[in-house]
Chain A
Amino acid sequence: MKINLNWSEFLITRLIKVSGYSAIIFVGLIFVFLVMEGFPALLEVPLGKLIGTRWYPIEEHFGILPLVGGSLIVTIGAAMFAIPIGIGTALFISEVSPRWARDILKPLVEMLGGLPSVVLGFLGILILAPFLRRFLDLPTGLTALAGSILLGGISIPTIVSVAEDALDAVPRSYRDAAIALGATRWQTIWRVTLPAARSGVLTAIMLGIGRAIGETMTVMMVTGNAPVLPIGLNALFQPVRTMTATIAAEMGEVANGSTHYHVLFFIGVVLFMISLVINVTASAVVFRIKNRSERILS
C-alpha cells in the first residue's frame, strides 16, 4: 500500500512537472522552428534589401520596414485608444459602480472579448471606414486609424478584465485609511488604489498590447494593406500593411522553401521578438515595482 502510494505520488508530481515545463518547451520549439525557416532569408536576401522600404514580393522586393512600421503604428494607435478607456472602465467597475452593476458589467465586457475578429472586420469595412472617410475628409477610410480603433476595441476587454481583478485585490483598508485621512473619492482612486494595483494594471496593459500586435484578421480587412513606410503623425490617417496581415495574406500562396517563404518566416521571427521584448519589459517593470514596494513595507 505504501509503495503504491509513493508510486502514484511520484507519477503525479512528474506529470505536473512535465505539463509545467511543456509550455516552455513548446515556446522554445516554436522559436527554433521559426528561426530555422526564417534564417535562410538572411542568406538569400542581402541585409540592405531586407531592411529596405519596398515590399513587393512577387518581384523580389523584400523590404520589411514598411511592415514593421505598419504594425507599430497600428499598435501604438490601438494603445492610445485602449489604455485610457480600458483603465477608466476598470476603475469604474471596481471603484465607482455598485456591486450589482459590477456583476453585470464585467461579464458583458468579457463577452465583448469573445467577438470573432472577422465580425469586427466586417463592421469596420461597412461602417467604420466609410464614417472615418466622411468625418475626417480622408481620401479613403481604410487606414491605420480604422485598424487602431478596432484593435483598441479588441484589447479593451483584456485590459478591463485583468486591471479590474488587480484593483479589486487592493485591500479595503487602503481605501478606508485614505478616506479617513480626508481624501476625496477621486484622490483615493488616483493616489491610493491605482498605484497600489499598478503591477496588475501594467500587466493588463501589456497583455492588451500583445493582443493588439498579434491580431490579424481585422487589420487585414480594414487597414488597406498598402505597404507604405509610415513616417510622422500623418501616417495614422494613411493605409498601412502590418506584419501579421502580410503573413496571413501571402503564406497560403507561397511556394514551400522559396525566398519569399523564408522572408515570411523571418517576419514571423521579428514579430516574435517584438512580443518577447514587450513581455520581458513588462515583467521586468512589474518585478521592479514589487521589489520597491516590498522594501517600503519592510
Chain B
Amino acid sequence: MSKHTIIWLIILSIWLSGCGGNTGESTNGLPADSVVNIENKGSDTIVNLALAWAESYQSIHPEVRISVTGGGSGTGIAALINGTVDIANASRQIKDEENQSAIANGYDPIEYVIARDAIAVIINPENPVNQLTLQQISDIYSGSINNWSEVGGEDRPIVRLSRETNSGTHVYFLETVLRLGDSENDTLFSTNTLLLPSSEGIISEVRDNPNAIGYDGLGYVTSDVKVIGVARNASSPYILPSAASVNAGEYPIARDLYMYTTGEPSGALKAYLEWILSPEAQTIVMELGFVPVSSE
C-alpha cells in the first residue's frame, strides 16, 4: 500500500515539476511563434565577439534567438549572397563582384563597422627582436630575409607562419603588410610559409619555436608570446598594438570589422544592430581584445 503511495507521489511530483517548467515559460509571455531567429555567420576573427554579443543580447531580449557560426569572411558573404543568413560577419570589406552577385540575387548588402581589429606580429619570448618596420616584415614573409640576424636577432633561420589563404586575416596581411598597401605591388608569400588552419595552431607554434614569426588578431594573442612594435617606415616610431594606438590610427596594421545585412534591416534585426553599436555592447569588444568603434 505504502509502495503505491510513493510511486504515485513520484509520478505526481514529476508531473508537477513538468507543469512548473511550462508555467515558467509562459510567464515570459512567449508563444513559440513570436521568437525571432537571427542567423549570423562569417569571419572566424569575429566569431567570438559575435557569440559574446549574442549571449548577452539574448539575456536581455529572450524573444530573440541568435545563432552564430564561423567559417571565414568569404563563407559569410557567400551565405549572404545566397540569402541564407540575416547578418554576415566579415573582417574585410565586401568585394565588388560579391556585392554585384548579391544585388543580382535581390539582396542589397548594407555595411556596418562594428569594431576594429589590430593584427599583432608575434614571436617567441626567447627571441631578442623587439621591433620591425613594415618593410622588414614584408621582406621576411616574401622570403628575401631568411635569418633573424638580418633584423638584429640571433643567428637562427626564420620560420614564417600564416593563416590559410581563405582567411580574411591572410588577405588583409598580404595587402597591408607584404604589399605595403600598394595595389600595383604583386609580392607573394614565400612558398615555404607555413599555412596553418587555425589561430591556435599559430599561437602554439610561436610559443614553442624560437625561430617562428606569426601574425594574428590582437584578440587572439595570449600572454605567452611576444608582440613586437611595428613602424610604418624606418623614420617613424615603433608602435605596440593596443586599443589606444589603434583608435588613434597610429598602429599600422589595423582594420575595421564589418557586419552586412541583406537590405535595410527592420524589427528585431534593426534593434540588435543598434544595440551592437551602443556603449554597452562595445565594452564587450574591449573585453575580447578588439578595439571598440568610437561612438560619436
Binding site for B on A (CB under 8 A): 54, 56-59, 61, 66, 125-126, 129-130, 133, 139-142, 220-221, 224-229, 238-239, 241, 249-250, 252-255
Contact = CB atoms under 8 A, between A and B. Distances in A.
A249 B194 CA distance: 13
A227 B211 contact: no
Nearest to A61: B188
Contacts of B165: 56-58, 250
A66 B191 contact: yes
Contacts of B189: 56
Nearest to A255: B78
Interface stretch (B9-17, B50-58, B197-205): B197-205
B195 interface: yes
Given A140-B159, A140-B209, A250 B164 contact: yes
B281 interface: no
A228 B191 contact: yes
A224 B191 contact: no
Given A140-B159, A255-B78, A238 B186 contact: no
B138 to A, nearest CB: 16
B71 interface: yes
Given A130-B208, A140-B209, A252 B166 contact: yes
B197 A239 contact: no
Given A226-B194, A253-B74, A255-B78, 4 more contacts: A225-B164, A225-B196, A226-B191, A250-B165
B241 interface: no
Contacts of B209: 130, 133, 140-141
Interface residues of B, number: 30
Interface centre among B164, B193, B195 (most CB of A within 10 A): B195
A142 B71 contact: no
B80 interface: no
9 contacts: A58-B165, A58-B166, A139-B211, A140-B159, A225-B195, A226-B195, A228-B191, A250-B165, A255-B78
A225 B194 contact: yes
A277 to B, nearest CB: 27
A139 B148 CA distance: 12
Contacts of B186: 59
Contacts of B89: none
Contacts of B211: 139-140
